[in-house]
Structure 1
């Protein structure tokens, strides 16, 4: 299927009646899966994703630092003991608290770039819908009390079985250098594939009402909204780690994958398209693709890496025409319930 391109009716980045800021419309998805293939475009997209100041690159850097200086040794992890398990927990809670706090303070508490590049003009809510009557503290609570707990549980399980040789592992980068590099790309596509289907699952009415509605209270999102999940959703979301029980992985792969899921969610829900450095849009932050999901609900279940939303008719490209189509689709969905 051909990628949706910006045609004559495309809208440049800027303001609209629905958004304080939006990127160029219509937004597009990865051309990697386009038919017929577009190798030059696919390569440009991959290079643009990996070799710019954007979350994937920062996740690799943080994963290398974590494995080199913070991760317990495999010999220590062969037995379940409080010491190394607490060390894993400290890594996960530490990076989450650090990044979440920095993003929130800069973008919201200190308004470091005011409203520039912010998608939604509204501030974080003070409402009885949220714990403590405050959206931010509600989000912090569910992030730390639910999502990071399950992230830590999955991590401890993996490293325990890996340390005992019960799953395939890469002992060193030199053992399979081609696979070591290639697996990072595989993980990005796997993350998109897994997230799409888990996300569709928790949008079924029974699960949405009891589980996913907690996350969707955040119509206007901030960094701490990304991991503000019900425990069932947190468990399912981080179950993407199961790929490492099947395919040979180096610890850097595993930590990178977990950072993509966790720290990546803080970035993607930042509410701002980019972070400004000396007044220039420099570091990719929020995802307008996912911001559309929080606004319009029955669309953009996945991410830009895989065009599953396009294939299954749930892609919102940010245009008014797409809004009308998604609203009509939503009426049909709810009419059947």
Structure 2
């Protein structure tokens, strides 16, 4: 099915480089705009929580996990196989369920055909991928590397938290204001941490030996999000270290790790939104990050914090930005 007028930006700034893209130029969250725009910032903050989008699904799933699936804190005071395998089952289970569901719906059964798909190309079969197949390559590295480190970091946190070695909240009543505010803090911390570790692994040596594995996926799919080298997987989930410093409830920690783990699956879906019977069901992929996969040396962070804009690496989707980023890439990789 081709694009309809409702699905493509037909403004003068539209780009022919994509099958579909949101209206250009894309922007960032208004929270850090100067001069301040308090109404727009408030609307953005509230809107990201009260519409069907990944953050709402992450917090809902985190509450369910803590209430019904997470081992008791008392059981996690010692490093015993039972509760560690329980956490592994939770993480691997949800990653497999979400990755498989999105891949089947969008790519195998073509549930919305090509509607709202950023890149027209299919998943690849190429010798540059493990097993010669992009999907199986992505599944393998997602589970063997990223979900493994997601699990190890989670186990480490709950072990030290259960022993009282880090500040914790055992109930909402201990600090209700902080309990709510911390969810907003985590959104910005995630963006801040991701930007800097991402810039780190774009240093040419680390890019060649570590991050290039992830960047084999120029055209991404749901399983591409967590397809990382073990070094990158460890660094990516190290954002959990904030909970070793600031008082955290288990819901905060699980929400944060779902935002990192399951959020990467959503953001690499390759489609702007999920459609059910031609109606928007949920926000899915990130065009901001899709630009990074195509042009590499841009959009290292996410829309929550304008770090790319501040440091000159923001690609807003326009042809002018593409020319600027390509010139920047030549300078970065020019022979010294």
TM-score category of the 2 structures, normalised to the smaller one: over 0.9
TM-score, length-scaled by structure 1? 0.95
Q: Is the 8 A contact 2:116 2:273 kept in 1?
A: yes
Q: Is the 8 A contact 2:13 2:24 kept in 1?
A: no
Where do 5+ consecutive residues of structure 2 fail to align?
A: 1-8
2:108 corresponds to 1:109: yes
CA offset digits 1:136-178 (Å, max 9, x no partner): 0000000000000100000000000000000000000111111
Q: Is the 8 A contact 2:27 2:316 kept in 1?
A: yes
Aligned to 1:89: 88
Count of residues in correspondence between the two structures? 328
Aligned to 2:139: 140
> Structure 1 pair 53/282, CA: closer, same or farther in 2 (3 Å)?
same
2:119 corresponds to 1:120: yes
TM-score, length-scaled by structure 2? 0.96
CA offset digits 1:183-234 (Å, max 9, x no partner): 0000000000000000000000110100000000000000000000000000
Q: Is the 8 A contact 1:14 1:20 kept in 2?
A: no
Aligned to 1:36: 35
User: Deviation of residue 278 (structure 1)?
Assistant: 1.9
Aligned counterparts of 1:239 and 1:155: Cα–Cα separation in 2: 10
User: Deviation of residue 282 (structure 1)?
Assistant: 2.9
Q: Name the SS for the 2:73 alignment partner.
A: coil
User: Deviation of residue 333 (structure 1)?
Assistant: 1.4
- After the TM superposition, which parts of structure 1 deviate over 2 Å for at least 4 consecutive aligned residues? 10-16
Aligned to 2:231: 232
Where do 5+ consecutive residues of structure 1 fail to align?
A: 1-9
Note the 1:169-318 alignment, pairs <5 A: 169-318=168-317
Q: Is the 8 A contact 1:223 1:266 kept in 2?
A: yes
Note the 1:146-157 alignment, pairs <5 A: 146-157=145-156
> Structure 1 pair 14/96, CA: closer, same or farther in 2 (3 Å)?
farther
Q: Name the SS for the 2:101 alignment partner.
A: helix
Aligned to 2:164: 165
User: Deviation of residue 59 (structure 1)?
Assistant: 0.0
User: Deviation of residue 15 (structure 1)?
Assistant: 7.2
Aligned counterparts of 1:36 and 1:45: Cα–Cα separation in 2: 16
CA offset digits 1:296-321 (Å, max 9, x no partner): 01000000000000000000000011
Q: Name the SS for the 2:282 alignment partner.
A: strand
Q: Name the SS for the 1:335 alignment partner.
A: coil
User: Deviation of residue 257 (structure 1)?
Assistant: 0.1
